[in-house]
Amino acid sequence: MTGRIGAAVSRIEGRKKVMGEARYAADFAVPNPLYAHLVTSTIGRGTITAIDDADARAVPGVRDIYSHANPLGLTPDGMMSTGGHAQQGWEPFDAPDVRFYGETIAMVVADDILAAREAAKRLRFTYSEETPAPVFGAEGVEPEELPDDALSSGDIEAAMQAAAQTLDLDYDTAANTHNAMELFATTAQWSGEDLTVYVPSQWVEGFRVGIANELGIAPERVHVVSPYVGGGFGGKGSVFTFTPMVAAASKRLNRPVKLYVTREQGFTTASFRAETQQSIRLGAGADGRLTGFEHTGRELSSRTDTYVVNGAEAAARMYHADAVRTGVTCVHADRQTPGFMRAPAETPYFFALESAVDELARRLEMDPVELRRTNDIDAEPVNGVPYTSRSLMECYDMAGEAFGWSDYDPAVGSMRDGDWLVGWGCATAAYPTQMAPCSVRVHLDRTGRARVMVASHDLGTGAYTVIAQAAAEGLGLEVDRVDVELGDSRLPPGTIAGGSVSTASNVSVVQIACERIMQRLGTTPGEIDVEAAFNAFGQAAIEEYAEWTPRGSQKNARRGLYRGQVGIVGGAEEEYTAFAFGAEYAEVRINRWTREIRVPRLYGAFAAGRIMNEKTATSQYLGGMVWGLGHALQEKTEIDPRTGAVMNDNISEYIVPVNADIVDIRAMMVPEEDTLVNPAGVKGIGEIGIVGTAAAIANAVYHATGIRVRHVPIRVEDLIETG
Amino acid sequence: MRPFSFRRPGSPEEAVAMVEPMGVAGQGGAFHAGGTTVIDLMKLHVLHPPSLTDLGDVLERGIEETGDGTLRVGAGTTMAEAAEHPAFLRAPVLSEALWKAASAQLRNVATLGGNLLQRTRCPYFRDNVSACNKREPGSGCAAKDGINRLLAVLGTSEECIANYPGDWANALILFDAVLETRSGEGGREIAFDDLHVLPGEDPARETILGDDELITAIRLTVPDWAGRSVYTKVRDRDSYAFALTSAAVALDLDGETVREARLAIGGAATVPWRAREVEDWLQGQTLTEDVAVEAGRRAFEGAQGWGENDFKIPLGRDTVARGLMEAKAMTPETNSGDSQ
C-alpha cells in the first residue's frame, strides 16, 4: 500500500464504518442512563400562560420536567459572530415567551425513552397567542440594514449610466434544512465535577468551551467526544441549545442523560439555511466587459439574533467591474436562528450571480463561457487585491471539453429530443480559501508506526485519511503505518470543520510536526531508515507537538486556539485574495407535457491547489454537486406563513435527491499549484462543489424552455402556465 | 408512542372477532399488515388505537390466474411481489403503479390490501395540531389556505382537500375490481369503485368498510388489450416521491381509433378517481394529440385549486394527455419495464 499526498487512498476508517464498529455520538453506552425528550411549541409567537404537567408527571418513570417554570439555570454564551459558540444568543426556558413555532419549551427526563415521550405528549400548555410574522412579506418582520457588511468602490451609478447594457434582476432562494442522516443527539455523563459529553460535533473544542460557558463551569472540566459524525453540513458546527440542557439535567438528577432529537424536531431545534431575496444590477459594455456590479441581499433571521451570510462579498470578487456596490439586510422574523449550511454564503448568492451573468450573456448574444472569459481577472475589483491563483477559465475549458460545450446551440429549445426539451447551462463555482489556527501531536516509534492526534473532525469527508497521508509523506512511511485520532476535545486543539478549513490547516500543522521529528532524528522522509534512526537517537519513540497559525491571523490567535476561538482567516484578505474555483455544466431534460426537470448530465471541473487525495476529493465534489441539484430542483423547508410551522418536517416530503435523480455526474480536477495560500498549498474543497450547480441548472432550464426562473427550488409549477 | 396490545390471530375470522376500531368513526379497524401507514401515524400520535390486530398469519399472499383474464390477488401480497408478477407485467399499468410507488424497502413489506387504504399525507392531518376535520371532526381545515401544494383539486369539499396519495388504486380502478371482505357479519363483496367515499361533510369517513371489516382478496379482470397501458406519474424526484399528478391509462385501439379507453387520475383527487365520462368521450375518437389534450381538459372539468396547488389542474390535464399519447405509442409486446 502506498498512499502519500495526492494518492487515491480509500478511507482508512471505511472498514470500521461498514462493520458497524465506528461509534457515533449516540452509540456510546453510559451506565444507568436516563432519557430526555424535547417538547416543542405549537404556536408561532406568544406567551405560555400555564403548564399543566400533572398527567405527564403521573407517567411511571418520569424524573423531572424542565421548562421556564423549572429552568436549568444556563447562561447564554452567544453565537460565533459575537465570540461565543452557540446556535442562538439565548437559552430556552429563559422566559415564558414563545419566539417561533417548534421552539423547545420543555424537556422531559425519564427512566426510558417511551416514558419520556409519553409524558411529553401529556404536557398541556396554555398560550396567549400572538400573530407571528414568520416569512418574508409577513406583517411585523423587522428589517435591519447592516452597513458594516457593505462593499463599495467606484461610482456605481455612473458605471450603470455608461453601460451599453444594464440588467436589474431579483432572485429568491428557499429555506433549507440540513437533514443529516445522523440525527441530533447528546449524552451527558458527570464524574464529580467533570463532564463528558457525547455529541455529534463539527467543533469539539468550541463545544467544550461553549458548553462550559453555558453551564458556568471551567472549560477544563468538559470533555467532548465525537469521533465520527454522520453528516454535518454546517448543522453541527455550533453548540445546540439542548446539549447544555442535557448536561444540566444530568447534574441535577445525578445520572447520565441521553437525548435523541427526532427528525421532525430537528427541523426547528437546530439551525437551517435561511431564505434570501436578492437584487443584482449589472452594467456591461457592448464587448461584455462589466462596468458596474451591484448585489444586495435580504436574509431572514430570528427575532432575537442577527445572522447573515452576505454572499455578495464573495460575488463581488468574481469578475471585472469598474464599480461595485453590495449590501445586506437582516430581516428579523418569528423563526429560529439560522446557521451554517454547506457554502452558506456562496450557495444562495452564486445562484443569483451566475443566473444574472447568464442573462447578460443572452442580452449580449455572447457565449456564456466567453462572457466570463472576457471578465476574468487577476485581482479582485473592489480593492485591486491580487489572487494567489485563479484557474477559473481552465476549469471552464476542461469541463466544457468533456461536456461537449462546443456543440452548444444557444437558441432556446434548439436541442429538443422527441418529447423532451433539452437544455445546457453552465456556471462558476468559487469558495474562499480559509484556514484557522490548529495544533497537533505526532508520535513515531521505532517500529515505524506513527500516531497523529488532533481535535479535528471527520464528517464523512475523509479527514482521517488525508491527515494520515500528510503524516505518511512527512515521516516517510506507508499510510497504513499511521493511526489518526480525531474528534475528542482532549486531543490538541484543532479547527472547526467548517469554512473548508480543515485540510489546509491540518496538513500545514502536520507538516511542521513531521519536519521537526525528522530533524531530531537527523534524517529526511526520503531517506529514513526507522530502526537505524531510532538506534542513533537513543530512544524508542519520539513525539512532537506543533502549532500553526495561518498568515493574516490576529496577534492573539495562538492563545485563542486554546480558548475555543474559531480564528478563521482567508478569502479576501489585505495582501491576497484566495479562492478555489470551479465550473459546472448541466444538461436538463424537461418533458414537454408535464415539465418535470431531470438532469442526465452534471459535469464540474475544480481547481483548488494541491489535492491531498483524489478519491476523497472526488467524493467531496460530487457530494456538493448532488446537493446542488437538490438545492436547484427539490429542497425547500415549507413554512406555513400563518404559523411558522414547518409543514414537511420529514424526509419523505422534504425532498432531496435519490439515486435515480443522479445519472452521469463527473468531477474533474484542474492541476493548480499555489505556494501563497498556506504551506500545504491546499485550498479547501468541502463546499465548492455545491456552489455553481443551481445556477447551471437554472440556466439550462432557460435554454430548454425560454422560461427564466429566478428562484430555487425550480419545480414543475414554475414551468406551467396556471389559469 | 402509547402502549397498545398487539394481537396475532390465526384466521380472518379470529382477526375480525378481536379487532378494535381505529378510534374515529369511519376509519375502520386497527389492522396491522405491512404497517407502513398505521405505525407511522401511531408514532405521530395521529392514530392511537388500543390494540393492533396483526394480519401476518391471516392474509392470503399471491396472485391466482383463473384463465379468463380474471386475477385473484391475496390482500397480503406485497407490492414488490405483485410488481414483478407476470400477470401484472402483461398489463403494465398495474406493475408500474406499484414499482413507481414508495421505495424498495416499503414495497417489500407493504401489502396490497393495506395499500388501497393508504392514508393521506396532508401535513395538517399528520401534524396532530392543526385544524383537521379528518383527524378531529368539526375542527376545520387548515389546509385550504395553507401549504397545500401536494393536496387535491378533484373531489374536494370545504371540509377537506386531503388527497388520496396512493398509486396502485388508480390502476386497479381501471379493471372493474371487486374486493372480498370479511367482518363479524360474514363475508361480502364490494365493487372497488365504491370503497372510497368523497370527503363531503364527513371527511373522517374514508371508506365504506365497517369497523371490523377486513379486505381479504382483490379480484380484477384484465382484458387482453391492457398490454397497451401505462402509469404516468409526475413527481418531484425520480423515485420515492408521491405523485403530484398521475394518469393510469389503458387503451384498446383499432389503428388510431379508440375502441375503448380507461382512465384514472392520481395525486390530484381525494379518492382513486376514474374518469368515466372522459372514457366515454374518447370512445370512437381518433387519438390525435388534440384529442388527448381535450381528454385532459375534460378530465379536470370542475377541478378546484386552493392556491399552491392550482398548478395541478393544468399539470393534471397534461399528465392525462401524455399518458394517452404514451399508451398509444406503445407496442404492447415490448412495453414492460419502460421507465420514462
Write out the DSSP string of A63-83.
EEEEETTB--------BGGGT
How many beta carbons lie within 10 A of that of residue A3, not counting itself?
21
Which grid cell sits at A474?
Answer: 512527512
B281 burial class (0-12, 13-18, 19+ CB within 10 angstroms)?
middle
Residues A550 and A634 in one domain: no
DSSP conformation class of A405: G
- The ipTM is 0.95
Report the residue from A114, A655, A720 with minimal CB separation from B315: A720
Per-residue pLDDT tens digits for A351-383:
999 999 999 999 999 999 999 999 999 999 999
Distance CA B241, CA B165 (A): 10
Span B56-81, pLDDT tens digits = 999 999 999 988 889 999 999 999 99
pLDDT score for B335: 43
Residues of chain B with CATH 3.30.390.50: 226-327
User: Is B232 in CB contact (< 8 Å) with chain A?
Assistant: yes
Cα–Cα distances (Å) from A595 to A213, A287, A413, A419, in that order, read 53, 35, 13, 10
Question: Taking all residues of chain B, what is their mean pLDDT, rounded to a whole number?
Answer: 95
Domain membership flag for residue A170? no
Give domain status of residue A151, yes or no.
no
H or E element, residue A515: helix A502-521
CB contact under 8 A, A720 and B318: yes
Structural contact between residues A167 and A281, judged by C-beta atoms closer than 8 angstroms = yes
Strands A420-432 and A579-591: antiparallel
Q: Which residues of A touch B249 (CB under 8 A)?
A: none
A722 and B322 within 8 Å at the Cβ level: the answer is no
Query: Which among B45, B239, B242 has CB closest to A121?
Result: B45
* Cβ(A395)–Cβ(A605) below 8 Å: yes
The residue-averaged pLDDT of B259-273 equals: 98
Name every chain B residue with its beta carbon within 8 A of the beta carbon of A640. 142, 146-147
Q: Which residue has the cell 429530443?
A: A417
Q: Which amino acid is at A550?
A: P
Q: Is A423:A702 a contact under the CB 8 Å cutoff?
A: yes
Q: Position B123: which residue type?
A: P
d(CA B82, CA A604) in angstroms, rounded, equals: 41
Residue among A117, A593, A598 minimizing CB distance to B318:
A593
- 3 state SS of A150: coil
DSSP A646-698: BTT-STTTS----GGG--EEEEEE-----SSS-TT-BPP-TTHHHHTHHHHHH
Q: B93-96 — which CB contacts under 8 Å span 24+ positions?
A: B93/B171, B93/B174, B93/B226, B93/B229, B93/B230, B93/B231, B93/B248, B93/B249, B93/B250, B94/B168, B94/B171, B94/B172, B94/B175, B94/B222, B94/B229, B95/B336, B96/B171, B96/B230, B96/B231, B96/B233
Instruction: Kindly report the length of chain A.
Output: 723
**Cell numbers 493511526: residue:** A483
Does any domain span residue A9? Answer: no
DSSP conformation letters of A113-126? HHHHHHHHHH-EEE
Contact criterion met (CB < 8 Å) for B318 and A657: no
pLDDT given for residue B2 in this prediction: 73
Mutation choice for B interface testing from A98, A105, A594, A720 by most B CBs within 10 A = A594
Judged against a pLDDT cut of 60, whether residue B241 lies above it is answered with yes
Q: Is the pLDDT of residue B334 over 50?
A: no
How is residue B7 written as a grid cell? 394481537
pLDDT band at residue B336 under the 50/70/90 scheme: very low
DSSP 3-state of A721: coil
Of A117, A594, A640, Cβ closest to residue B1: A117
pLDDT at A723: 59
Per-residue cell: A513:
510536526
Within a domain: A136: no
Q: Is B338 on the interface with A (CB under 8 A)?
A: no
Q: Say if the Cβ atoms of B311 and A717 lie within 8 Å.
A: yes
Q: How many domains does chain A have?
A: 3
Mean pLDDT value across residues B99-125: 96
- The CA distance from B327 to the nearest CA of chain A, in Å, is 14
- Give domain status of residue A159, yes or no: no
Note the pLDDT of residue B291: 98
* Alpha carbons A9 and A286: distance in angstroms, whole number: 49
Would you state the pLDDT for residue A173?
98
Read off the C-alpha cell for A697.
441548472
User: Are residues A210 and A243 both part of a single domain?
Assistant: yes
Interface of B with A in 114-173 (CB under 8 A): 121, 123-124, 127, 129-130, 142, 145-147, 149-150
The verdict on A383 and A439 lying in the same domain is: no
Residues A342 and A378 in one domain: yes
CA nearest to B93, candidates B286, B322, B338, B284 = B338
Of A42, A660, A717, the CB nearest to B239: A660
Distance CA A596, CA B268 (A): 16
Q: Domain check: are A480 and A405 in the same one?
A: no
Q: Is A4 helix (H, G, I), strand (E, B) or coil?
A: coil
Which residues of chain A fall short of a pLDDT of 70? 1-3, 723
Cross-chain Cβ contact A655/B2 below 8 Å = no
DSSP-assigned states of every residue in A537-585: HT-SEEEEEEEE--TT--TTHHHHGGGT----EESB-SS-B-EEEEEEE
User: Is residue A135 assigned to a domain?
Assistant: no
Task: Indicate where chain B has its CATH 3.30.43 domain(s).
Answer: 5-57
Binning pLDDT at 50, 70 and 90, where does residue B23 land?
A: confident
pLDDT of residue A121: 93
Put simply, whether A121 touches B (Cβ < 8 Å) is yes
Rounded Cα distance, A337 and A302, in Å? 5
The owner of cell 396490497 is: B112
Output the pLDDT for position A2.
52
A664 interface with B at CB cutoff 8 Å: no
- Asked if residue A387 and residue A472 are part of one domain, the reply reads no
Angle CA(B118)–CA(B120)–CA(B125) in degrees, nearest 5?
A: 135
| A213/A296 same-domain check | no
Q: Which of A523, A555, A587 delimits the end of a domain? A: A555
Query: Taking CB atoms and an 8 Å cutoff, what residues of chain A touch B146?
Result: 640, 642, 647
Q: Cβ contacts (< 8 Å) between A35 and chain B: which residues?
A: none
pLDDT recorded at residue B3 = 80
Residue B339 scores a pLDDT above 80: no
Ordered DSSP codes for A610-630: S-SBHHHHHHHHHHHHHHHHH
Half-sphere exposure (Cβ direction) of A600: Cα atoms closer than 13 Å: 13
Nearest of A172, A229, A218 to residue A195 by alpha carbon:
A218
Instruction: State whether A220 and A108 are in the same domain.
Output: yes
Instruction: Answer yes or no: are the C-beta atoms of A71 and A125 closer than 8 Å.
Output: no
Interchain contact A598–B (C-beta under 8 A): yes
Of A114, A647, A659, the CB nearest to B147: A647
A206/A232 Cα distance (integer angstroms): 15
Here the CATH number for the domain that contains residue A551 is: 3.30.365.10
Helix (H, G, I), strand (E, B) or coil at A705: helix
Give the least confident one: A657-661, B21-25, B208-212: B21-25
- Given phi > 0 = left and psi -120 to 50 = alpha, else beta, which region is B126? alpha
Same domain for A587 and A517, yes or no, is no
Does the domain at residues B5-57 carry the CATH identifier 3.30.43?
yes
Domain contains A214: yes
**pLDDT tens digit string along B129-144?**
999 999 999 999 999 9
Residues A324 and A294 in one domain: yes
Say yes or no: A109 and A200 in one domain.
Answer: yes
Percent of chain B with pLDDT over 90: 92
Q: Choose from A105, A122, A647 for mutation: most chain B CBs within 10 A.
A: A647
A550: nearest Cα among A386, A435, A396, A439: A435
B12 to chain A nearest CA, in Å?
32
Mean pLDDT over B235-251 rounds to 97
Strand partners, B265: B247, B273
Q: Which of A438, A435, A434 is nearest to A561 (CA)?
A: A438
Nearest to A566 by CA among A575, A553, A576, A578: A553
Reference B74, options B12, B122, B132, B121; nearest CA is B12
Q: Report the SS3 class of residue A439.
A: strand
- B322 contacts A640? CB cut-off 8 A: no
Q: What's the pLDDT score for residue A3?
A: 58
What is the predicted pLDDT for the residue at A721?
Answer: 83
Distance from C-alpha of A342 to C-alpha of A461, rounded to nearest angstrom: 13
| Residue A96 and residue A106 share a domain | yes
Do residues B319 and B156 lie in contact, with contact meaning Cβ atoms separated by under 8 Å?
A: no
Q: How far apart are CA A65 and CA A110, in angstroms?
A: 9
Domain range for A75: 31-130+181-231+236-269
Q: What is the DSSP letter of A639?
A: B
C-alpha distances out from residue A521 to A439, A449, A469, A473, A527, Å: 21, 15, 20, 16, 11
Q: Do the domain assignments include residue A566?
A: no
Average pLDDT over residues B230-236: 98
**Degrees, nearest 5: CA angle A276-A277-A282:** 125
- Asked if B281 has any chain A CB less than 8 Å from its own CB, the reply is no
For residue A353, what are the β-bridge partners? none
Q: Is the separation of the CB atoms in A123 and B47 below 8 Å?
A: no
> What's the CA gap between A631 and A530, in Å, rounded?
51
Are A246 and A196 contacting, i.e. CB atoms less than 8 angstroms apart? no
Q: Domain B226-327 has what CATH class? A: alpha beta
Taking contacts as CB-CB distances below 8 angstroms, the residues of chain A near B149 are: 638, 717
Alpha-carbon distance values, A570 to A350, A549, B277 (Å) = 19, 12, 67
Q: Which amino acid, B184?
A: G
**CA A520 distance to own-chain centroid:** 39
Q: How far apart are CA B113 and CA A662, in angstroms?
A: 33
